Each structure stands twice: as C-alpha cells, then as structure tokens.
Structure 1
Amino acid sequence: MLTVTSSIAIPDAELIERFTRADGPGGQHVNRTESAVELRFDVASSPSLPDAVRERLLARGDRRITDAGVLVIQARRFREQARNRDDARDRLAEIIRAATVVAKKRVATKPTRASKERRLAGKTQRSQTKKGRSTKWSAE
C-alpha cells in the first residue's frame, strides 16, 4: 500500500513493477543484476484516485504519461533494486501529491498609468543613450 496523503492510498495491486538492467556505474555487477525499476500506474482507470486529482494528473501534459493514461516512472539512480523501488514509489507519491493541490485562478490585471509612464521614460532614456553613441562616433 502506497500512502500518498491521509485520504489517498494506492494498493500494491494497482502498481506494476518491472525490473531491468541499469546502465551507469557498478562495473561487472551492473551486467548481471536487474536493479533498475520501471513503475507503471494506470491513472486513467485507477479507482483509488479522486476524479479531480485524476483530471489534473492527465491534464498536466507530462511526457511520462502515455496516451492510454499510464504513468511510467524509471528509477535507476541507485545500485540496489530496493532503493530504486523506494525511489520510484516516492516519486509517484510526489507526483500525485502535486496534483492534489488546486492551482490558484489567475486574475487578469492591467498596468497602472504610472508604470506605463516609467516604462516609456526608460525607453526614451535608452534611445537617447544610443543616439548619443552614434553621433559621437560619426563626428570623429
């Protein structure tokens, strides 16, 4: 059981783990052991996720989510399979936890008159500086 929040827990039956040989450091040991973990979680059809969280997860546009709505996490940071497995589960929990937070609605604002005037004054000043440079060089 993977506990994400106090109200969201994912049973192990919904998680599919596949172990593969990892690249990277480890010498000959890397060629013999399957220490990398590929964790798959079907976001689209999981009964453990609330509908709002599922929709936010699928709407994120994350490249780790397939077209079928399956979240795939690769973990090969460590040399031990158990640590990679824990790492993959922690990352899955963090992704789901991030989707539980509702983004604040953006309120459209307009720049004030003073800020517009400051911007234009700065542009004028910059223009004068550049004009001064060109006349200085052409006079010599």
Structure 2
Amino acid sequence: MKDFSRELSFKTSRSSGAGGQNVNKVETAVTVLWKVGASDFFNDDEKALIQEKLKNRINAEGYLFLTVSESRTQLMNKNKAIEKIIDIVNKSLVIPQKRTVTKPSKAQKQKRLDTKKKLSDKKENRRFKF
C-alpha cells in the first residue's frame, strides 16, 4: 500500500444533514483532490491503470476527487477522505488473477450422470401405469 497523502489537496464546503445551526455556519464537508498524472509515487504503468479503472471518478483536468461529509467535524472528515482515497487507489492497482481453464474430472462427470439417472428414475416412478 502506497501512502501518497502528501500529494493531496483539500477543499471545504458546508455539509448537509444533521448538525443543527452548526451546519449553516461551519464548513465541515471535505473534498479531497489528487492529480493522478502529476504523482511522483506511481510509475507510468500504475498511473495508466489507475486512470483506466477510475475513469468515472477522474474529471477532465485529471483530478481524482472524493467528498466526505459523514462526520460533524472537519478534521474527522479529512481523515476519512484520506483513508478512502488511498483505499480506492490501492484497490484499483490490484490486477485480478486470470482463471486457469480446467476440465471436469471423470468422477465429477459420472457423479452428475448418476444424479440425473436417479432423478429420472424418481420421476418415472411417479407416472401412472396402466
């Protein structure tokens, strides 16, 4: 896991929801911005992978952004935003393992055919016979 929190920039805004008068006068919502292309922590291949997997979250200027307004304090929202953006980027760097194609074994094939035969016999016995 790479911690690139030094490259993040923050914006604050008024958040909605619970908080009473505090909501109307204190900017507690935090938007975290990160310029993917200008990062020194990742090489070009990793940047391309991040941009491909997170293309829906990256705007036209190349910024990955995330807004958090879960808590009533700006500091807690900032910490949550840092955690979330680092988690999102690290998950996007994971390359899924390719599935190796395998054939079913003879025992598995035989078991499937035996089960089909038993079910067929059970249904055959239910039929009305003259």
Give the TM-score normalised by the residue count of structure 1.
Answer: 0.68
How many angstroms does 1:47 deviate by? Answer: 3.4
Structure with the greater relative contact order (CA < 8 A, sep ≥ 6): 1 or 2?
Answer: 2
Give CA-to-partner distance per residue, 1:57-106, whole Å, 9 cap, x none.
22325643346543221211111011101110111222233344443333
Distance 1:23 1:83 in 2: 16
The answer to whether the aligner puts 1:58 opposite 2:51 as a matched pair is yes
Contact 1:22 1:36 in 2 (8 A): yes
What CA RMSD, in Å, does the superposition of the two structures yield over aligned residues? 3.0
The answer to whether the aligner puts 1:85 opposite 2:78 as a matched pair is yes
Pairwise mapping of residues 12-51 of structure 1 onto structure 2 (< 5 A)? 14-51=7-44
SS in 2 for 1:49: coil
How many angstroms does 1:42 deviate by? Answer: 2.0
The equivalent residue for 2:111 is 118
The equivalent residue for 2:89 is 96
SS in 1 for 2:108: helix
How many angstroms does 1:122 deviate by? Answer: 3.3
Distance 1:130 1:32 in 2: 73
Q: What are structure 1's unaligned runs of at least 5 residues?
A: none
Distance 2:82 2:67 in 1: 10
Amino acid at match of 2:30: V
Provide the identity percentage. Answer: 29
